[in-house]
Chain A
Amino acid sequence: MKKIDPAVKKETLFILWMTVIISLLMEAVFLIIGKWDTTVLFGNLLGAAAAVLNFFIMGISVQSALGKEEKDAKNVIKLSQSLRFIMLVAVGAIGYLVTCCNVIATVLPFLFPRIAIAFRPLFSRERGGE
């Protein structure tokens, strides 16, 4: 098995922690509006796990694609994106079909990595050094 690039590990950890923080905020919002129940919690767990897994698989795909020829790299990323998209559709469908999950709390965490990346410059230590 190929070794995971340190950059992939570091960024995935960052996304994981930020997803946890934003998930807690989302739970707080559900509590405040009075719609919180255990389905929100389970849906949030499922969606957040899928979002972090999606980012990690993307990192592995990018890592493996960077060592290939241009055309192969393009195809690897296209295939990876399609498969990850199908995975997220399946997770969304599970969130709807399984009664112990709230569908909104399941699909909203898919967008959390994007919010985490928006806050990335605040946590970047290399910024001033370069």
Chain B
Amino acid sequence: MELAIGIILGCCALGAGLAMIAGIGPGIGEGNAVAKACEAIARQPESKGSVTTTMLMGCAIAETTGLYALVIAILLMFVAPNILVDILVKTISSL
């Protein structure tokens, strides 16, 4: 029983850690996008307003992939272990 619970908790933590790898990407992507936006504004300073708006929306969308991973990781860390352990206990007690 303890071993099974340990495996469940370990797998949840491992899954959360793996999910958080996705948090690396958005920072790099946003950085590249903003660098190119700087280049565009330097070339055409009059387009600053529209470039800023587009950049904001683009950055928010790019960041969503990281947020999906964050939400999954938080649910795996805090919500899933309780549910899975409950299921395990119910299954073992019904045997």
Contact = CB atoms under 8 A, between A and B. Distances in A.
Interface of A: 5-8, 10-11, 15, 55, 58-59, 62-63, 65-66, 68-71, 73-78, 81-82, 85, 88-89, 92-93, 96, 103-104, 107-108, 110-111, 113-114, 117, 120
B27 interface: yes
Given A74-B31, A81-B30, A85-B66, A58 B38 contact: no
A8 B38 contact: no
A71 B39 CA distance: 11
Contacts of B27: 77-78, 81-82, 85
A120 B59 contact: no
A107 B59 CA distance: 20
Contact of B57 (A11, A76, A96, A111): A11
Interface of A is mostly: helix
A82 B94 CA distance: 46
A71 to B, nearest CB: 7
Contacts of B66: 81, 85
Given A63-B52, A92-B70, A103-B79, A74 B35 contact: yes
B12 to A, nearest CB: 13
Contacts of B23: 85
Interface string B60-75: 1101101110110011
Interface in B78-93: 78-79
Contacts of A92: 70-71, 74, 78
